Amino acid sequence: MTSAPKKLFIKTYGCQMNVYDSERMAEAMGGEGYVQTDRAEDADMVLLNTCHIREKAAEKLYSDLGRLKALKLDNPNLKIGVTGCVAQAEGDEIIRRMPVVDLVVGPQSYHRLPAMERAVQAGGRVVDTDFPEEDKFDILAARSKAKRGPTAFLTVQEGCDKFCAFCVVPYTRGSEVSRPADRIVTEARGLVEAGVRDITLLGQNVNAYHGAEGGLAGLVGQLAAIDGLDRIRYTTSHPNDMDDALIAAHGNEPKLMPYLHLPVQSGSDKILKAMNRKHTAEQYLRLIERIRAARPDILLTSDFIVGFPGETDADFDATMALVEAVGYGAAYSFKYSARPGTPAAERAEVDAEVMDARLQTLQALITRQQRERQDAMVGQTTTVLFEKPGRNPGQWGGKSEHLHAVHAMSDEDLRGQIRKVRVTATAPNSLTAELIG
């Protein structure tokens, strides 16, 4: 008699790289007889795949572990694991504070999960926050060819050598490492065979990729040659790694979508220097001009931190001026939060009320720019890759070339189709359109 499969629940915090990592963890544990469930209450193993970028990440983890403690009281056989960047930063401290945790594994060691699970089942506790010499992607099993949705993430580069003064990534993800192009192309072909038409290439500094001749532009060219792969994107980029070839690719490669997330963090040269960004506001603006010259319709997004230690009203005004000058399609903005172990954490912080006021002012400007960009789309045509049905009967949702969320009505099954549409209306975070092709 065949025993029932074990069930795995994964909660993913943070960035797209964590989404990709969670998928690979699920595939690795599939080889140990686990199938995924969307309910922690039904699981034999729970993995919390954590992010350490924002404030109180560890507190959020311990809050979730407190809720899981009750599940383990009801089911003593339940195994609980913490993975990702908080696992890397906290290590043994997690088990010390929360003895319900059975395993802790950093983002560079999750290929070892099957062996760790076996050790845990034998009654042990395991902590692995090494930066192993072996490449985890070499050891992980090939991606499943099971049918999947039309979009996918694909990690091509990990780690960071930039050491921005506010950021923990170099300490939790390690130095910059690029995967070999042939392995990325093989994985991409497998995704296309499984139904994927749109791939987003991931990296902490993805445009620092050097695993192919010609860097990221060379890799994009190799991927563009794959039949059935219709759209390519990449994120997240650093301004200092936008080389001439990659800028040119935005104008020359039709499969590379007209969308670019290019974080700048501040418009003040004084603050950029304090952040160790190694570029000026003027250099960033000149870079934007070159990118737009190559692809005039590109939609630009960015990241901003307000209230970085030492930021004055004049520094904040410089950020507002930069945002006005660029005209973003969207942006992510945050109040500065000190990350333990980073250089900026030792500096005096800006008053909390001042940070709140600056954030509201910046977000109002970004929201206005986003709405103006979306309103300008009304009456325009674009193509949409439809992904899934909407909430209403006959409604379908997908993403435009510029990564706008788009809804359209059709009696057809549009899943996985790229269709031409005309935009008819806008909402705060989406477009409404009609099919025209």
- Is 272 contained in some domain? no
Identify which of 226, 326, 253, 233 has the alpha carbon closest to the alpha carbon of residue 286: 326
Q: Is the pLDDT of residue 224 over 70?
A: yes
Residue 175: its pLDDT value, please? 86
pLDDT one-digit tens code per residue, 161-183: 999 999 888 887 888 989 999 99
Q: Are residues 101 and 153 in the same domain?
A: no
324 domain residue, yes or no: yes
Residue 242: helix, strand or coil by DSSP? coil
Residue 143 has pLDDT above 80, yes or no: no
- Domain hosting 170: range is 142-257
Question: Could you tell me if residue 265 is inside a domain?
Answer: no
State whether 152 and 192 are in the same domain: yes
**Assigned domain for 62 exists:** yes
Question: When comparing pLDDT for 31 and 261, which is higher?
Answer: 261
Task: Choose one of 94, 128, 162: the last residue of a domain.
Answer: 128
Question: Any binding-site annotation on 160?
Answer: yes
Residue 290's φ and ψ, nearest 5 degrees, are -65, -40
User: In this predicted model, what pLDDT tens digit does every residue of 237-254 receive, in sequence order?
Assistant: 999 999 999 999 999 999
The position carrying tokens 């030792």 is 346
Question: Residue 2 pLDDT > 60, yes or no?
Answer: no
Q: Is 51 annotated as a binding residue?
A: yes
The reply to whether 162 falls in a domain is: yes
Residues 37 and 146 in one domain: no
> CATH number, domain at 104?
3.40.50.12160
pLDDT, tens digit, 9 for 90 and up, residues 405-436: 999 999 999 999 999 999 999 998 899 999 99
Residues 6+ apart with CB under 8 A from 295: 250, 251, 258
Average pLDDT over residues 30-37: 91
Alpha helices (H) in 75-174, listed in sequence order: 85-90, 92-97, 113-121, 136-139, 169-172
Q: Is residue 279 part of a domain?
A: no
DSSP line for 110-134: GGGHHHHHHHHHTT--EEE----SS
> 181 and 103 share a domain?
no
Mean pLDDT, residues 191-210: 96
Q: How does DSSP assign 344-389, residue by residue?
A: GGGSPPPPHHHHHHHHHHHHHHHHHHHHHHHHTTTT-EEEEEEEEE
Mean pLDDT for the chain overall? 92
- For residue 437, give Cα distances in angstroms to 35, 139, 384: 39, 44, 11
Would residue 386 count as lying in a domain? Answer: yes
More confident residue, 89 or 182: 182
Same domain membership, residue 308 and residue 369: yes
> Residue 416 sits in a domain of what CATH number?
2.40.50
C-alpha 278/C-alpha 10 separation (Å) is 37
User: At a CB cut-off of 8 Å and minimum separation 6, what does 191 contact?
Assistant: 143, 148, 152, 154, 199
pLDDT-above-70 percentage for the chain: 95
pLDDT of residue 132: 62
Give how many domains the chain has, as a whole number: 4
Residues 101-119: what's their mean pLDDT?
88
Question: Does the pLDDT value for residue 1 go beyond 50?
Answer: no
Answer with the one of 70, 99, 128 that is the final residue of a domain. Answer: 128
By DSSP bridging, strand 45-50 and strand 79-84 are parallel
Task: State the Cα–Cα distance between residues 245 and 250, nearest whole angstrom.
Answer: 9
User: Both tokens of residue 436?
Assistant: 């025209």
Tokens 């990440």 -> residue: 57
- Which has more confidence, 124 or 298? 298
What is the residue-wise DSSP string for 16-55?
A: HHHHHHHHHHHHHHHTTTEEE-S-GGG-SEEEEEE--SST
Q: If you search the block for the tokens 């990702």, which residue do you land on? A: 84
Residue 268 lies in a domain: no
Are 362 and 348 found together in one domain?
yes
Annotated binding residue 215: no
Give the C-alpha separation, 187 to 193, whole Å: 10
236 preceded by a cis bond (ω within 30 of 0): yes
Q: Note whether 170 and 203 are same-domain residues.
A: yes
Same domain, 401 and 416: yes
- List the single range of 95-109, 184-198, 266-280 with lowest mean pLDDT: 95-109
For the CA atoms of 415, 141, 231, 289, what is the dihedral angle to 10 degrees? 140
At 21 the pLDDT is 87
Tell me what pLDDT residue 206 has: 97
Residue ending a domain, among 330, 352, 375, is: 375
